[in-house]
A = this chain, B = another copy of it.
């Protein structure tokens, strides 16, 4: 099965090479495909690392090990295997990851704990260590390449290569941030996952890098959903080589910290939205903004209830401004809401206000908005100051075809 390029795809942006980041790819052959599927990224000595991981109680060994490595805050290499997630593979799976770490550590003369490993693809099949080891040996010999090549090599059922770039001025020193991501295509029985990586030549202390990543994650990766299903391998890592030569950012008071965070947030938001744009079967990109909730947390729960509702998502697919389904989703979210203060808008046009339909609504501009590719839904609860914005896509026949019609 070959998936057509998403109609919501974006071109890969210009991403400059970064000092201290050397990218190589090779073909391990995890699946019967004719492309590189192993990515080895070497990072300069002293690179700071930070990470956020899936909350799944059934996370993969890669995630379990990665959580501990991110706490150490240092990295010398990243290996990404595409085609096999190595999830739910028990001791054999864990051993496979440890062998990869040992092999790369020996080649780069670093500690195994400096080598981050991610895997994505079919679940329940232990990663074939022989293929991994041959792939790593080939990658170590390969010519360095660019971020777009890496974005292609980490992909599984993605329909386009996804990247983002931003720069920030720290004092007089410009630093660059380049990010790549894969997901959220899924194809039976593969469970593809969201794996995202951001690289920068800025110098940042690991603890502060982690703080910034967690904050950015809460506003970006944690605000997207395609189908409400959480993978066993979701991972986002940030690596800062320090080769730009700025005085290392230590906290929010460091010169340029705000500028760096703004650039990091911009890269994370773009990467997160690109995943939604490649959502399985997606034909429309949907932004859902909830305001007037009792708290930001409550607003986010409500926004995700709307974003994950199959009835809302199918209505969007059908070009139907079905605000009654938005009401339903608000009602089921389990958060404080008052039917008689609730207002709903599509594309800035209010269809219901304070618990009642807007009388004599002009349907034409509504229909025009719903016919487009970028849909905006707003729900105001009229209770407080809490607000949140999340992004999702519509639910179409394409999703069913990808996940039901084709067998492994």
Interface residues of A (CB under 8 A from B): 54-59, 87-90, 92, 122-125, 186, 188-189, 191, 227-232, 308-311, 314-315, 317-320, 322-325, 327-340, 342, 352, 354-357, 394-397, 399-401, 403-408
Q: For residue A381, which residue of chain B has the nearest CB?
A: B57
With a cutoff of 8 Å between Cβ atoms, the chain B residues found around residue A356 in the complex are 88-90, 92
Q: For residue A333, which residue of chain B has the nearest CB?
A: B57
Instruction: Say whether, besides A58-B342, A331-B58, A339-B58, A320 and B407 are in contact (CB < 8 Å).
Output: yes
Cβ contact within 8 Å between B357 and A188 = no
Instruction: Say whether, besides A357-B124, A400-B396, A58 and B408 are in contact (CB < 8 Å).
Output: no
Cβ contact within 8 Å between B399 and A310 = yes
CA gap between A121 and B312 in the complex, in Å: 16
23 contacts between A and B (CB under 8 A): A55-B332, A57-B336, A59-B339, A88-B339, A88-B357, A90-B354, A90-B356, A123-B327, A124-B324, A188-B314, A189-B322, A189-B324, A189-B325, A227-B311, A231-B328, A310-B310, A310-B395, A318-B405, A318-B407, A320-B408, A397-B401, A397-B404, A399-B400
CB distance from A277 to the nearest CB of B (A): 19
Top 6 A-B pairs ranked by shortest CB distance?
Answer: A58-B331, A123-B324, A56-B331, A230-B332, A314-B403, A318-B404
Q: For residue A336, which residue of chain B has the nearest CB?
A: B57
Q: How many copies of this chain sit in the oligomeric assembly?
A: 2
Q: For residue A310, which residue of chain B has the nearest CB?
A: B227
With a cutoff of 8 Å between Cβ atoms, the chain B residues found around residue A92 in the complex are 356
Cβ contact within 8 Å between B330 and A57 = yes
CA gap between A328 and B399 in the complex, in Å: 18
With a cutoff of 8 Å between Cβ atoms, the chain B residues found around residue A87 in the complex are 324, 327
Cβ contact within 8 Å between A230 and B403 = no
- Other CB < 8 Å A-B pairs besides A229-B329, A318-B403, A320-B407, 13 of them? A56-B328, A87-B327, A90-B354, A123-B325, A189-B322, A229-B309, A229-B310, A232-B331, A310-B310, A310-B403, A314-B400, A318-B404, A318-B405
CB distance from A211 to the nearest CB of B (A): 25
Cβ contact within 8 Å between B58 and A327 = yes
